[in-house]
Structure 1
Amino acid sequence: MSGVTLNKVIKKYGETQVIHGVDLQIDDGEFCVFVGPSGCGKSTLLRMIAGLEETTDGRIQIGARDVTQTDPAERGVAMVFQTYALYPHMTVEENMGFGLKMNGHPKAEIKAKVDEAARVLKLGEYLKRKPKALSGGQRQRVAIGRAIVRGPEVFLFDEPLSNLDAELRVEMRVEIARLHNEIGATMIYVTHDQVEAMTLADKIVVLRGGRIEQVGRPLDLYNNPDNQFVAGFIGSPAMNFFSGSAAGGKVTVPGLGGLVLDAPASVGDGAVTVGVRPQSLRLAEGESHKVDLSEQLGGVAYHYLVAGDDTRITVEAHDQSAPAPGARVGLSVAEGAALFFDAGNGQRLR
């Protein structure tokens, strides 16, 4: 197994630049997730590592090898796509071993590797079935098994769960996490779903506009975002943001009913953006906010409020009581829970 290093990687299509000098180190055996909104460059970056997209400038290393100009088949990577791309006329066993067969590997070796991959993925009883007799989750496991039998240095996943329903997505997340724990391979995984990123990753790379916004462990990004974009993207439900006015070390927040918060020393006088996660807000006595809607999910409830300045707010609660739509409530903020951002460039003020 090997790590992956990107050094000032650039991708252009004609005069249009879509990847802007990305530097990144992915350690051997690490599970790294590229996450970001549609069009941020995450799939393009993955395809550049795979060799499916040419690198305009910069360098890509897998282990100690510079693979920037290396043919995809020689890079030591295996890619699992959003579509399963299975041969419908072949059995599961034949699909999984097809790549090795085409490369002239002995039948006994192919069988041993397919049987081991089937054991890891719990596909043993399906080896003689054809894809049409499998569920979506089973087909995706076959696609992953086809990658495993190649024995790659690095596994690449391009939104592999996007075609699955919600229940299967959860099941396959668990399967992929278990697979990583069992084989310990370096894995790079692309998704637009930050829940997948949080639950799977050792390291998350947040991308926007072909640039890295922040790299770190999931909880580090959640608890200590560098900017407003990362703070709003990581976490579900998303962080609430309010316009505030700072003066003398205090920030007044009209969207929180005029609540006054203590600010760090880096917050100067003037406009500032205040971020508060839904679970750090509490319903309180008062009439500063109108209840628009409440969603009661049993163990958790989400209350959607509207402030007097039309700010939309999400509050997470862990009880089964819910105010009626149209009711007036107040809000409080858990001590030390507010984050502060520059109102102009969105950078964190610590």
Structure 2
Amino acid sequence: MTGVTLEGAIKRYGQTQVIHGVDLQIEDGEFCVFVGPSGCGKSTLLRMIAGLEETSEGTIRIGQRDVTHLDPAKRGVAMVFQTYALYPHMSVAENMGFGLKMNGVAKAEIDRKVQEASDILKLGPYLKRKPKAMSGGQRQRVAIGRAIVRGPDVFLFDEPLSNLDAELRVEMRVEIARLHKEIGATMIYVTHDQVEAMTMADKIVVLRDGRIEQVGAPLELYRNPDNMFVAGFIGSPSMNFFDCDVVDGKLTHPALSAPLEPPAPIPAGASKVTLGLRPEHIGLDHDGDALSVDLTEALGGVSYVYLTASNGDKLIVEERDDERSTEGSRVSLILRPDRAMLFDAESGTRLR
């Protein structure tokens, strides 16, 4: 078993606590993605697992071993960073095998492991090249290959695609997902890009301010978020939120053409709640005039329409019909109440 378990993991820098009692189980062979805004603690948590940050309290296990205070080299992990950290004077093959060479592994064994890794990553034609003669995506594959040859129990990725352009990011997402399926190892991946998280993960861990907000499969988080933070963070464009007044048990808002039946029970005495709907769950009535169209992003098969309600609230609606909204026009909303979510206006907790 090479899963990863965190029990009450805490990290402090002096008097400042940045990770607050994290409990998490990552199963053997699972692709787990830590996602959240900058400063949420995702890279710190990854570095705690790697042993690059000391764990102030709590326990970290890899498989059955307690590695909480173990040296990084003895944890059975390999880490791929945002920067490639390749030796410029070494060839691709030398870079990939350098760690094994330093550990005294026989040259024949190093050559065998480097060849196996290069076959997986399609680096065979480049083994004699120096890093400067390679593209950013190729260099990142070399960095991943260096991790593979070590044969770790767990692979750790710290925003490895951040330095690549958009096209290469997509290409490398596919490469890493394919790699995971091929070698079946446990992988933990950190990113601030929720699109990366949605497309690659078996399990997503959403973090905020050093705490776990929700853990689940990508579509589970998308379809069934526990709170407004997760609902707003997962999905691109973000979910629309309507701060509604409760009048006679129904929801009212300047963007709604008529009072709406709440999609979940409203707490007794509540005068305000927040309604959530994703852009694809709202249609537009081009004969209405409740909102003004600020901008339309035409992306080919889909357009995103940016709207402003009379109270100043900003909304985004997805359009796929042949008729597309134009800047300056007036429209009304056609909601899908069956896909609406309701949240507590103060705490942001999902009302069910």
Normalised-by-shorter TM-score class: over 0.9
Which secondary structure state, in structure 2, belongs to the residue aligned with residue 254 of structure 1?
A: coil
Count the aligned residue pairs. 350
Q: Any stretches of 5+ residues in structure 1 without a counterpart?
A: none
Instruction: Show structure 1 runs of 4+ deviating over 6 A.
Output: none
Alignment match, 1:342: 344
How far apart are the structure 2 equivalents of 1:297 and 1:263? Answer: 32
Asked if the contact 1:19–1:41 (Cα under 8 Å) also holds between the matched residues in 2, the reply is: yes
Q: CA deviation at 1:256?
A: 2.9
How far apart are the structure 2 equivalents of 1:139 and 1:104? Answer: 25
Alignment match, 2:30: 30
Matched, 1:132 2:120: no
Matched, 1:295 2:297: yes
Alignment match, 1:331: 333
Alignment match, 1:43: 43
Alignment match, 1:6: 6
Deviations 1:5-53 (A, max 9, x none): 0000000000000000000000000000000000000000000000000
Alignment match, 2:205: 205
Asked if the contact 1:249–1:267 (Cα under 8 Å) also holds between the matched residues in 2, the reply is: no
- Residue identity opposite 1:278 in structure 2: P
Which secondary structure state, in structure 2, belongs to the residue aligned with residue 237 of structure 1?
A: coil
Alignment match, 1:235: 235
Deviations 1:226-257 (A, max 9, x none): 00000000000000111112245422232334
Matched, 1:318 2:320: yes
- Equivalent residue runs for 1:60-209 within 5 Å: 60-209=60-209
Which secondary structure state, in structure 1, belongs to the residue aligned with residue 43 of structure 2?
A: helix
CA-atom RMSD, angstroms? 1.1
Q: CA deviation at 1:318?
A: 1.2
Which secondary structure state, in structure 1, belongs to the residue aligned with residue 70 of structure 2?
A: coil
Asked if the contact 1:96–1:146 (Cα under 8 Å) also holds between the matched residues in 2, the reply is: yes
Q: What TM-score, normalized to structure 1?
A: 0.98
How far apart are the structure 2 equivalents of 1:104 and 1:303? Answer: 60
Q: CA deviation at 1:321?
A: 2.7
Alignment match, 1:282: 283
- Residue identity opposite 2:321 in structure 1: D
Deviations 1:185-218 (A, max 9, x none): 0000000000000000000000000000000000
Q: What TM-score, normalized to structure 2?
A: 0.97
Asked if the contact 2:250–2:259 (Cα under 8 Å) also holds between the matched residues in 1, the reply is: no
Which secondary structure state, in structure 2, belongs to the residue aligned with residue 260 of structure 1?
A: coil
Q: CA deviation at 1:105?
A: 0.4
Which secondary structure state, in structure 2, belongs to the residue aligned with residue 313 of structure 1?
A: strand
Q: CA deviation at 1:337?
A: 1.3
Deviations 1:150-204 (A, max 9, x none): 0000000000000000000000000000000000000000000000000000000
Asked if the contact 1:195–1:235 (Cα under 8 Å) also holds between the matched residues in 2, the reply is: yes
- Residue identity opposite 1:180 in structure 2: H
Deviations 1:261-317 (A, max 9, x none): 333224444100111100001011310000001011111101101111111010011
Which secondary structure state, in structure 2, belongs to the residue aligned with residue 52 of structure 1?
A: coil
Asked if the contact 2:80–2:144 (Cα under 8 Å) also holds between the matched residues in 1, the reply is: yes
How far apart are the structure 2 equivalents of 1:248 and 1:175? Answer: 54
Asked if the contact 1:301–1:319 (Cα under 8 Å) also holds between the matched residues in 2, the reply is: no
Q: Any stretches of 5+ residues in structure 2 without a counterpart?
A: none
Asked if the contact 2:255–2:310 (Cα under 8 Å) also holds between the matched residues in 1, the reply is: yes
How far apart are the structure 2 equivalents of 1:97 and 1:259? Answer: 66
Asked if the contact 2:254–2:290 (Cα under 8 Å) also holds between the matched residues in 1, the reply is: no
Out of 245-254 and 30-39, give the one that drifted further: 245-254
Asked if the contact 2:35–2:205 (Cα under 8 Å) also holds between the matched residues in 1, the reply is: yes
Asked if the contact 1:5–1:24 (Cα under 8 Å) also holds between the matched residues in 2, the reply is: yes
Alignment match, 1:252: 252
Q: Percent identity?
A: 70
Deviations 1:117-163 (A, max 9, x none): 00100111110101011000000000000000000000000000000
How far apart are the structure 1 equivalents of 2:159 and 2:321? Answer: 35
Out of 132-141 and 244-253, give the one that drifted further: 244-253
Q: CA deviation at 1:74?
A: 0.1
